[in-house]
Amino acid sequence: MKRILPIAALLLSGCAVSVTNNEVATPQSAQDALRPFYSALNTNLPQAAANPVLSSNETVTRFAFGSCVNENRDMKIWDVIAAQKPQAFLLIGDNVYGDTRTTNSADIPTLTASYRKLGSRIEFDRFRRSVPMMTTWDDHDYGANDAGGTFAFKERAEKIYEAFWNSSAEVKSRPGVYESRIVGPQGKRVQFIILDARFFRSDLAVMPYRDPGPALGWYIPNLDPKASVLGEAQWDWLEGELAKPAELRFIISSTQVITDAHNFEGWTNFPKERDRLYNLLADKGVSNAIFLSGDRHSGGFYKVSNPRIAKPIWDFTSSSLNFAFGKGDGGDREPDPRRTGGLWGVPNFGQIDIDWTAKTVKMSLRKDDGSVIEEQVVQAID
């Protein structure tokens, strides 16, 4: 039974959500409490420039992706990516750094200001007007570092996100920002499955404090059987998407999927959820999926085999577009048997080239001058 509090106390607190017979139902979450406040806010939110549409009938042979764009830093990489003539670009998280200098105000003014600044940058605006884009978010454009489903202001963050990126009706119709598209004619269909690893994610488990702190992060696996990355509604949706026919699939996760080599954020924090992900691929007979990820401010390639999946599973991480944390290969700091090469802490973007005749996918990690850092060619097409 819901606890009933005097109406005056809740009205003064700003937490009133419903009134019945001069009594107010206690909000069951921070989101419940904030909805009346958000409903009264000004809806004049920043919007990115109009974006061309990638035709559903177009045969995709090249697209690019990246993550971690600081709206205040150099933007030359947008012109470099455009020069590669990608048919689409996937911006997959930390699309702005809206949680810096935060006021902790419920309307997240720093997030709105960051989007407005990104939209004003000439290079980004030019790119946005010329290359079809798909997006998801990570923590810094979600509104708080490493935040998940308990983030109090997430519904406001979603509203800001959807306004700026002119999200599809599908995204706007439900909580979270996940969506999917299939592009290309039969025999050359590419499915883009764009996950939301923030809105529904359970809290992270943290190791006990120590000094000095760990070099590779504080998080440990959350083994609670109820812990989730995607939430049940998104899991059900993903199962339905993987049942759709496509010759090649890209599953976009803002955080890394395969690696266990660090204790920062990633699916390594939720090993039971990652097992569920692999098992879902196996149950659906999906062996033509490649993961694309970001978040790490370094780029690299990761590979793992699963006895129930016919082909190796790849995770191609590209991060950061203009906010890298190193100057070269930092792989020695983070040894990882699942990483196939270096861990490149330089500004970078990912490029995917699809050869439908050879049934190959070439994955290129590229510098901000367009030159290749590393490449992998895989037989991923069914």
Q: Could you tell me if 163 and 244 lie in one domain?
A: yes
Sign of CA dihedral 74, 300, 92, 138: negative
C-alpha to C-alpha distance for 315 and 294, rounded to whole angstroms: 10
Q: Could you tell me if 36 and 49 lie in one domain?
A: no
Q: Could you tell me if 17 and 137 lie in one domain?
A: no
Query: DSSP assignment of 306-365, as one string?
Result: -TTSSS-EEEEE---SS--S-SSB-GGGS--TTB-S--B-SSEEEEEEEETTTTEEEEEE
Q: Could you tell me if 36 and 20 lie in one domain?
A: yes
Q: Could you tell me if 67 and 23 lie in one domain?
A: no
Range of 7's domain? 1-40
Q: Could you tell me if 68 and 180 lie in one domain?
A: yes
Q: Could you tell me if 29 and 146 lie in one domain?
A: no
Q: Could you tell me if 8 and 131 lie in one domain?
A: no
Query: DSSP assignment of 204-262, as one string?
Result: PEEPPP-SSPPTT-SEE----TT--SS-HHHHHHHHHHHTS--SEEEEE-SS-SS--S-
Residue length of the chain: 382
CATH of the domain at 135: 3.60.21.70
Q: Could you tell me if 33 and 50 lie in one domain?
A: no
Q: Could you tell me if 180 and 144 lie in one domain?
A: yes
Backbone angles phi and psi of 277, in degrees to 5: -65, -50
Q: Could you tell me if 10 and 118 lie in one domain?
A: no
Q: How many domains does the chain have?
A: 2
Give me the pLDDT at residue 189, please.
98
Q: Could you tell me if 95 and 189 lie in one domain?
A: yes
Backbone angles phi and psi of 102, in degrees to 5: -65, 145
pLDDT in tens, the chain (382 residues): 334 333 333 333 344 444 445 556 788 898 999 999 999 997 799 999 999 999 999 999 999 999 999 999 999 999 999 999 999 999 999 999 999 877 779 999 999 999 999 999 999 999 999 999 999 999 999 999 999 999 999 999 999 999 999 999 999 999 999 999 999 999 999 999 999 999 999 999 999 999 999 999 999 999 999 999 999 999 999 999 999 999 999 999 999 999 999 999 999 999 999 999 999 999 999 999 999 999 999 999 999 999 999 999 999 999 999 999 988 999 999 999 999 999 999 999 999 999 999 999 999 999 999 999 999 999 999 9
The two counts, helices (H) then strands (E), for the chain are: 10, 17
